[in-house]
Amino acid sequence: MKTPRLLDLTAAMVLLVCVASSLPLVSGNPGPRVNRTLVRGAAALGAFCLDGSLPAYHLDRGFGAGSNNWLLQFEGGGWCNDIASCVDRSKTRRGSTRFMSRTAVFSGILSNNASLNPDFYNWNKVRLRYCDGASFAGDTQFRNGTSMLYFRGQRIWKAIILDLLPKGLAKARKALLTGCSAGGLSTFLHCDNFKNYLPKTANVKCMSDAGFFLDAIDVASNRTMRSFYTKLVSLQGVQKNLDPNCTRAFYPEPSLCFFPQYALRFIRTPMFILNSAYDVFQFNHGLVPPSADPTGRWKRCKLNVTACNPHQLDAIQGFRTDMLGALMNFIRNSTRGGMFINPCFDHCQSALQETWLSPTSPRIHNKTIARTVGDWYFGRRKEVKEIGCSYPCDKTCHHLIPASTTTDSLVTLDI
């Protein structure tokens, strides 16, 4: 059975039904456009995108009381786990800065508007562009005929940090490392390393958005995501950059440490997990990947949850149960961790203003994502672990696919 070569979020979005005519939930300017910075010193470190181009980031300077505080966000965008898919990726913005836009819109947790992002609006905010295909974790290369593929995500991470340190990061008082999707997974992989770069007196925490990818058993009883990640870790030389305590614990399958559910207990820095219990990307690629549904029995269900039959709904609810089970030790025993697990068919909620903080943004116990993350980071509440009820109880969701006979909001996603 053929496994998809490229798990790219932009491709996954083809499966989603979005309402183009929907009115924006937050009116006015969507956010400032921030210029791109190429990391000129990256070449000396051998830190290149897949195609050999220089890596990049976008920096929006902090101001006022936030001048010495830093928020870094890993960009997401899937992975590549074989030569053919990585060659394809190297010819896109996911593998080369040559194809990336020179500016990026900063919204949601990156907004500089106090009313839209009250806790982090005046911080230095950085978006790390993603161009390696292994969540900033690989370190090898492959000669492809007359050209070279660079699997240098780990070096890109280091090059960007070293470029930012003299720009003020070295004097950070408060810092938050975050990311969405494949970037959310990067947050788990690099959280402790990020803390090691910063002053010992700094308040350093990490927040993963839609990055808690499960080692799921799909509807055909296969572990498609495990197979995919195993090939990725091998191809891109990721294993040596995984937490050694984790790889020793999971020997002889060290690639399991690419999964957050296995790496989480080894992370020492405070971590917040923001995830949908019915994550749309994992629904399409972990629970029901194309290889597990060759006859298309799930096609209508994947496009519209209201079209799912009882057996399919049971499988979807089982995925939520598995996610909460994988998080149970964190829920019970982490005294410094936080979470917001809502019952939405969504993927990435912190970078979009509609879901981060707006009059109609998702809520659990009447708390928005922005408020919950802020309460956790600044210690405004002792226990900050919000877990929503099971589908279809929540009416505040912004679904990426139709999931209700009511007028639940649909949003588009481009990350």
Q: Is 181 a catalytic site residue?
A: yes
Give the CA angle between residues 198, 200, 205 to the nearest 5°. Answer: 65
Query: Exactly one of 60, 218, 243, 279 is catalytic; which is it?
Result: 279
Facing residues of 276 across strands? 342
Q: Is 398 a catalytic site residue?
A: no
CB 233 within 8 A of CB 241: no
Distances, alpha carbon 288 to alpha carbons 4, 180, 348, in Å: 12, 21, 19
Question: Whose CA is closest to 45, among 36, 37, 54?
Answer: 54
Which H, E and C letters describe 5-19, residue by residue? Answer: CEECHHHHHHHCCCC
Q: Is 190 a catalytic site residue?
A: no
Query: Exactly one of 96, 181, 208, 255 is catalytic; which is it?
Result: 181
**What is d(CA 191, CA 184) in angstroms, rounded to the nearest whole number?**
11
Q: Is 323 helix (H, G, I), strand (E, B) or coil?
A: helix
Q: What is the number of other CB atoms lying within 10 angstroms of the CB of residue 201?
A: 8
> Which residues lie closer than 8 Å to 186 by C-beta, 6 or more apart?
74, 135, 136, 137, 157, 179, 211
Query: Exactly one of 58, 190, 285, 347 is catalytic; which is it?
Result: 347
Tokens of 79: 């992975």
In order, the DSSP letters of 259-318 are SHHHHGGG--S-EEEEEETT-HHHIIIIIS-GGG-TT-TTHHHHH-GGG--HHHHHHHHH
Distances, alpha carbon 3 to alpha carbons 81, 127, 160, 230, 334, in Å: 11, 31, 33, 13, 36
Q: Which residues are catalytic?
A: 181, 279, 347
